[in-house]
């Protein structure tokens, strides 16, 4: 669906980028295109408003709080394990614990 001129951003594109727009994570030309679309499309503007309110609510409820260190470490370990298992590799550390050697798993492992 496209609310404006043929070369204007489509509603689907704009709604897919709403969070990038809200977080200022898109370049200026893309921000301008999204803003132009929002200015002329009531449906997208309404959806944008909902997203903006959700973001503000999350910021109010979650700002200033930090995850406990042990939770962060558990998450890192879990992510590391998932990545390594999907990559079908093993990681071996040297005696000092800092060097890492990555090698392809063999069928015998």
Q: What pLDDT score was predicted for residue 64?
A: 67
Cα–Cα dist 71/16, whole Å: 31
Task: Kindly report the pTM of this predicted structure.
Answer: 0.46
Residue ranges of the chain with pLDDT lower than 70?
A: 1-8, 64-65, 84, 86-109
Cα–Cα dist 85/74, whole Å: 16
User: Is 38 exposed, middle or buried (CB count within 10 Å of its CB: 0-12, 13-18, 19+)?
Assistant: buried
Q: What pLDDT score was predicted for residue 5?
A: 57
- pLDDT single digits (tens) 52-63: 888 888 777 777
């Amino acid at each position: 669906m496209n609310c404006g001129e043929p070369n204007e951003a489509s509603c689907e594109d704009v709604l897919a980028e709403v969070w990038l727009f809200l977080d200022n994570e898109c370049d200026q030309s893309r921000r301008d295109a999204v803003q132009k679309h929002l200015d002329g499309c009531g449906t997208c503007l309404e959806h944008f408003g909902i997203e903006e309110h959700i973001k503000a609510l999350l910021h109010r409820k979650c700002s200033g709080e930090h995850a406990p260190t042990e939770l962060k470490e558990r998450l890192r370990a879990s992510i590391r394990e998932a990545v390594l298992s999907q990559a079908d590799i093993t990681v071996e550390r040297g005696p000092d614990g800092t060097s890492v050697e990555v090698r392809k798993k063999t069928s015998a492992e």
